[in-house]
Amino acid sequence: MKLEIHYSIYKDSLHAFSVELATARQTFFSNLKNSNSNYTLTLFANVERLTLKSRTGEVITDQEKQLRRWVEHYIELYAIQSKALKSGKLALLQPLHKLLCLCRDQGPIPQYMRDANIATVCKNKGDHSDCNNYRGISLLNIVGKAFARVILVRLQILASHIYPESQCGFRAGQSTIDMIFSLRQLQEKCREQQMPLYVAFIDLTKAFDLVSRSGLFRLLQKISCPPNL
């Protein structure tokens, strides 16, 4: 009887701790997503305006390869597993294509495709009780994930016209491995020639989370990004 009482107290305490921890993480990531870094209009002065490109027509042809990476399971009413999209073939992909085209051309995007569940993953460094040492991963509904991926591919085509040649990483055919090799070669040559070499390593805190959304939209408008994207 005494053991049962102690287990009940432990169970209630564990539940209260879990609720408190979930609330703290929710508050932290909500404030992080809603924060807006400062920017000035001079940041966009050197961005060249591009002419609007025609559509590539590649809307959803590569979805099987993309969906293979994400197998997310949802319980809600509109949940569709990635396996269902892969197994549905044309019977499911054609209606999905039509839905995504309607969202793109007319809008608005259904709320269930926009909402994301943020899962926290510890970075395995520092104090585990500090929310700054956790990485937030946004899990989208599979249909919303497919739509976001289609938009990303189109935006990458547009952004490739303004990337400098030195930009590596997150680009096809331009891996950071090549830049690391170039840096090592530069170090060897400077050592052989007994020349000084100065290298700056910059680690930006929350670089992706603190991007100015309003500034990003202004930049997309500056490079003639279609409004529906």
pLDDT tens, residue by residue, 50-61: 443 444 544 444
What is the per-residue pLDDT for 191? Answer: 93
149, 164 Cβ separation under 8 angstroms: no
Tens digit of each residue's pLDDT (9 = 90 or more) over 166-208: 888 777 778 888 889 989 999 999 999 999 999 988 877 777 7
Residue 137 phi, psi dihedral angles, 5° rounding? -115, 120
Structure tokens at 154: 């189109």
pLDDT along the chain (229 residues), means of 10: 48 64 69 55 47 44 42 41 67 77 79 75 71 73 80 83 81 83 93 92 76 81 77
Helix axes 82-105, 142-159, angle to 10 degrees: 60
Under DSSP, the state recorded for 124 is S
Collapsing DSSP to helix, strand or coil, 119 comes out as: strand
